[in-house]
Structure 1
Amino acid sequence: SNATDVNTIIRPPYFFISGFIAIPDMNYYYIFLCFVYIISLVGNTFVMTGIYVDRSLHSPKYIAVFNLAFTDVCESTALVPKLLDMFLFSRQLISYDQCLTSLFFVFLFITMQSFNLTILSYDRLVAICCPLRYHMMITHRSMLQLTGAAWTFAVLMVLISVCLITRLSFCRSLVIDSYHCDHGPLFRLAAPCSNVFPNQMMAFLNPCIVLYLPMVFIISSYICITHALFTITLPQDRLRAIKTCTSHLILVAIFYLPVILTYLLQSLIPTNARIINLSLTSILPPMLNPIVYVLKTEEFKLLILNSLVNISKNIIPI
């Protein structure tokens, strides 16, 4: 039958992920991926365990931090093992259902990472601009509601993108020009034999909702925070307020700047460089987030110090 027949949906048994095949000397990159994945798992597990065990970290803010660490573990696990599997066992083929499942989870956790950073930005905004009302506005219940709403919205948004893929026919190339089942390269394969306009609309809306709107909110919140800092008269209080924002600002820069620059300049970047850049923007933030929080947050420094003291007491009994 005609491949463009509206009543016919051609779903291939598999796709071929081109990945890094065309890029020379990628063996070292896979070793780097393995290292990054291990650090991501260890670091984020430490952050989650620390928040769970230490009662001083049972505050509304650390609900968002715990959620960010959990999201980082899930994002790394959804992405890196498949990349290592493709390299170690040359398994570039992925079934249709596995591809859509991978697409769903990778984009879900990337979306949640952005939303988590936005929630943390809101926490800092209230803490510095409305300090007297902070404990009224930022409660365990409100933070759980914000986090739950973010998860619900992210699931629905990514689910719509995946469902729109299922209505497409793939009658020509089955080679996905990316390092995973990426949304854009996937729906563009169906362009010769399907109407991909709804997919194009989602491809336009997704970055706006996941990247640009959160970034606008975060920038606006820090403009308000900067204004509030100038109203603080005591230098030590101002310095303390700035310190509470530094870790979050570093996380924001690590996540948003590389991916936004890559998207804005993708027409100017060669394909191989674009694939490597996008892979780095997906795998590096989950590794760096716990490192930044542990190094920049006084509560975690105190937690590490107490842990070392307890270990030394056990090893060297007094």
Structure 2
Amino acid sequence: MSYIRFENLCKNYDQKAVLKDINLEIEKGTLATLLGPSGCGKSTLLRCLAGLETVTSGKVFLDGKDITDVNPKDRGIGMVFQQYSLFPNMTVEQNIAFGLKIKKTDKKVIQEKVNDIIGIVGLKEQARQYPSQLSGGQQQRAALARAIVTEPKVLLLDEPLSAIAALLRHSLQIEIRRIQQELGITAIFVTHDQDEAMVMSDVIHLMYQGHMEQSGRPIELYTKPATKFVASFIGHYNLLDAPVMKKICGADISSESIAFRPELIHVSTEPVEDPDSYMIPGEIAFSLPHGNILRYAVLCGDTQIDVDALFGTEAPYCRSDRIFLSIRKDDCIYL
């Protein structure tokens, strides 16, 4: 039985439908990510679960109970926002203890819980410092500690790392994932960053224009996109319509379009005869480094195809070099 369930959930603002008949289940102890472009409805869905937005129709269930109309404070849900919202006049310890004090928890229990969680998030040395004395990453960890010290049934994280610099953001992704797994928390993470979703998630729910486009483990969405939108949003697929494939290499495909990943393309200076592959002639337009990858933009007629190669595997091709691309048919996805 699912731990969190959205049943036929709809949310309208005036006459605009923001969430359209959402049916979604999330298992206990997992980190599920709501992924999608800005305006797709992912934060609205999170707020409906938290009770910060009323639903237009449908139901929200948590641990087998209908919480659709339950007061937000009675749902047992912790939330971390993009803005950390730490109290500036309180130390880290005091910020973390705040929720427990509101619940009138025994002072000794509060101190024990605060000490434990400060250790888990690695803020022992900053326990008596104020938010203004903390780095952005430390503030984020303090906000996370404050949300989980009350032992919520569900932890919601609404793009909590979007304002963090890239290097620190990566380390915080790992830290949040470690803490979630260590404590066995059921968490829902909202992001528009597909790389972040791939790193952190047990399951990704990809949203588009107010509905669920595809759900699955990160590797499933990456290797088996179900629609053209998923292929264009997850990973970096080359996505070509059937008439384009016919034009650039003479191939007739039975599907509407075809998708293939840049790293699966073989490049050669001479055509390779292989009935199990598509052979496409092209010309190097330019190349750009992406970490340890060199990405070539190859013009095949009027169509650009991206090709990824590892640095150092072979001499790089130069602008205007005539080449041949070979893509195995089994490596293609037909949409």
Q: What's the TM-score, normalizing by structure 1?
A: 0.22
User: Which protein is bigger by CA-based radius of gyration?
Assistant: 2
Identify the structure with the greater strand proportion.
Answer: 2
Considering Cα pairs closer than 8 Å and 6+ residues apart, tell me whether 1 or 2 has the greater RCO. Answer: 1
Q: What's the TM-score, normalizing by structure 2?
A: 0.21
